[in-house]
Structure 1
Amino acid sequence: MLNKKILLCVTGGIAVYKAVALVSKLSQAGADVKVMMTESAMEFVTPLTFQAMSRNDVYFDTFDEKDSRVIAHIDLADWADLVVVAPATANVIGKLANGIADDMVTTTLLATTAEVWIAPAMNVHMYENKAVIRNIDRLHQDGYRFIEPSEGFLACGYVGKGRLEEPEKIVELIMERFATPNERPLAGKKVVITAGPTRERIDPVRYVSNFSSGKMGYAMAEAAASLGATTILVSGPVGLDKPAGVTVIDVESAADMYAAVRAHYKDASIVIKSAAVADYRPKEIHTQKMKKKDGDSVIELERTTDILKSLGEMKTEQILVGFAAETEHAVDYGRGKLESKNLDYIIVNDVTDPDAGFGKDTNVVTLLSRKGMHQPFEAMPKKELAKVLLETIIKEESDRLHDR
């Protein structure tokens, strides 16, 4: 972090107080931090506070040129190694998504060629508004990276998703960003990961699903982000916190998951399908709750799309990795899936193992490859295992990843 140039764009919201702590921690880590504020941000914290924390001038007026030799917002746009918008309001996200530049912050954001990270903070209902979701999706497609907000008690009194990620975590992510290339072998690569179960509706109150907790997939996404990847996590319904630095797409059914993965498949370098997707769904979905009646009931099921097989059929240069949770002959079944679904790797485990299986914090797996690799891994925490698995695949596929 020593002498890395960080431009922090602070927009209006109660979370501005966290931005003060962020500047302090970045400066302590050795970064050179300059702060730019919107007019509404100055209603919460004065520029003087950020000036004291950063020991640099604070910028907020496009027409206030502190150095007549340069145009301030262009000079700052060119100066930065990384631009971080924290907190980022719904307003500034909407402006940036639509190319609006009506103040110093938005003008600078449009002018910079540096990487831009956006850390949203807002009311939970605002964050879930369709317009905000649409703007975030557009910015993601344009190459902006998001630091997902956390869930908890919000200043407005609601409890939900919308809290600005903690400064310590943001600093950790930035430090990972500036790690040496050997520490970030997936820098510039896109990794798509699926996690958790899917739910196939029977009626408005019932569904078909499985016991997947999503812990392994979430660990894989966190590991991919820590190794420098632009990480897309397509998640079924789980009760886990969103990994920082990862773009999470929430889905419910197998069809939803398939559509989300396909949308990001073409330009992905690595695709890891760790989700436990329902193999069958009810052939008829009842619009009203099914009432119980005397005797037995039969629900006719039909096959869902085999997502992994479909991805294998359309694969070009992607490195495709599957998971196989089995209850017997795990390696044998894994080898069969490796071939039949045109995978590069498959990670197999026996869910009856006391150190493995759904909901556990540990896992025991074997990594198989089309090239003949057979690498067992003893029981270890899923977060640790995820990084080991990814590092093993990266080492094996260094040439392909270099060209991808």
Structure 2
Amino acid sequence: MMQNAIGRIFLGVCGSISAYKSVYLARLFVKEGYDVRVGFTNGASQFVAGEPFRVFTGHHVLNFPCDDQSHIDISQSHIDISRWADAIVVAPATANILAAARAGLASDIVTQTILSSHAPVLFVPSMHTAMWENPATRDNVNCLLERGYHVLGPVTGDLSSGDWGIGRMVDPCEIVQYVSRSLLNHQTGKLSGKKFLITAGGTRQPIDPVRYIGNRSSGKQAIAIAKEAQKRSAEVILIAANVEAVTLPTGMRVITVVTAEEMRKALSDNIDTSDVVIMAAAVSDFQPREVASQKIKSNDGWTLQLISTDDLLRELASNKSRPRVLVGFSAETEESANFRIDIARQKLLSKGCDYMVVNQVGFDVGFDVSDNEVSLIDDKQVFFTARGSKDYIAKRILDFLSERVIVTYIDPLDRSL
């Protein structure tokens, strides 16, 4: 057993082409100060040998008997390991183990340990895009998240099949950082003292006392972000525009607004004390030149003249009390993800914010659905692309932003082997 270890991690390795990355992951955990035990599913040994894990961790791999037992330890049971582990990390996590964990199956040391442990569990998926996007897999992932399991990734990139798409395993360095922050420290107090100002919903610009120009934003994603920031001990102010269909969170200050001008005032009143501003609301780009004082009769017919509303994100970026971190949202209808990112990056540069969250919207995409897919970018790179429930997306965004807000930033780990 490692002396003075900062934590004990059980690393479950599944039968995936990404299994070789788990050797590097195990080394990084050890280098960070963790005591690591590794367990194989029945198919893992077809992709990676046990000896590299023994070299880096100082422990034989745990597994049931197999053809090559020279580096396999079958003396310890899943009960021993489940009591020993402070955290369980399954990387790579296949579609099969996600389904097995949801169903409560226990056919190998990894699934048995998951089923019998009270430690936090992180799944790091790796599979082809078609498997990840299959409704059965999405349902399994959402169910696991609802039960309190953690899921990190996958990310978009080159796949072993030669295709390009979502399905790649998250970089091992990011996994180590996530475990240190979210699993073993549970993020409690990590954002303590930090003040978040978050906008949600969609503004409405009146045409007459009855009609208005609005949009379909429900505010669900922004409210999920506000709740996640609150869980991490941040002080949150939520500016909510027309979110009647969503239950507002408790324990934080909520300012309700209707129009873009009302949101502008709420932002102005609170910008001075904010460390992070997340502009997730869909603010109307246009408003009527004139607002009728009486309802316009349907048989009258009229031409509606529009003028632009003020660009609130650009105003915040140029404000002398600009927050330390300013995040915008860009909802685009283009089918091409790369095209959406290009458009969002142009917005980021023109408006002057630090980061932009990009997502696709349309008649049947993005609004009033349980899942979302976003990319978080700055002026030079795409930091991550994530797809999942809006609670999961909120966690990914807060994981990223925490590194930019917390003074005790976790330095990247040495990648050399």
TM tier, smaller: 0.5 to 0.7
8 A contact 2:10–2:87 mirrored in 1: yes
Amino acid at match of 1:164: M
1:96 maps to amino acid: A
CA contact (8 A) 1:62 1:72 kept: no
Match of 1:146 in 2: 151
Q: Give the alignment of 1:2-401 within 5 angstroms.
A: 2-61=5-64, 72-177=77-182, 178=184, 184=190, 254=217, 258=220, 269=230, 306-307=242-243, 309-311=244-246, 314-315=247-248, 317-319=250-252, 331-332=264-265, 334=267, 350-353=312-315, 355=317, 359-360=347-348, 362-363=352-353
- Secondary structure, in 3 states, of the residue corresponding to 1:52? helix
- AA aligned to 1:360 is L
Equivalent residue letter for 1:184: K
Q: SS in structure 2 opposite 1:171? A: helix
Q: Distance in 1 between matches of 2:400 and 2:120?
A: 30
TM-score (norm: length of structure 2): 0.54
TM-score of the pair, normalised by structure 1: 0.55
Residue 195 of structure 1, CA deviation: 8.3
Alpha-carbon separation, structure 1, partners of 2:169 and 2:402:
26
Instruction: Provide the rounded CA distance (Å) in 1 between the counterparts of 2:312 and 2:132.
Output: 39
How far did 1:4 drift? 1.0
1:355 aligned counterpart, secondary structure: helix
Q: d(CA) in 2 for partners of 1:174 and 1:268?
A: 18
Residues 310 and 167 (structure 1 numbering): CA distance in 2 closer, same or farther, change over 3 Å?
same
Letter in 2 for 1:254: S
Q: CA deviation at 1:82?
A: 0.6
C-alpha separation between the residues in 2 aligned to 1:123 and 1:180?
30
Is the Cα contact below 8 Å between 1:90 and 1:120 reproduced in 2?
Answer: yes
In the alignment, residue 63 of structure 2 is paired with which amino acid? Answer: F
Task: Quickly say closer, same or farther: Cα 1:127–1:66, change in 2 above 3 A.
Answer: closer
- State the 1:197 CA deviation: 9.4
Which one-letter code corresponds to 1:21 in the other structure? Y
Unaligned runs of 5+ in 1: 199-207, 211-252, 278-305, 338-344, 365-379, 392-404
Contact kept? 1:62, 1:104, Cα under 8 Å: no
Cα distance in structure 2, aligned partners of 1:316 and 1:18? 40
**Overall identity of the aligned pairs, in %:** 29
Question: Are the equivalent residues in 2 in contact too, given 1:115–1:144 (CA < 8 A)?
Answer: yes
Equivalent AA in structure 1 for residue 30 of structure 2: S
- Shift of the 172–267 alpha-carbon distance from structure 1 to 2, 3 Å rule, reads closer
Aligned equivalents of 1:264, 1:331: Cα separation in 2? 20
The separation in 2 between residues aligned to 1:146 and 1:385, in whole angstroms, is 15
Structure 1 residue 172: Cα displacement: 1.6
* Matched letter for residue 355 of structure 1: A
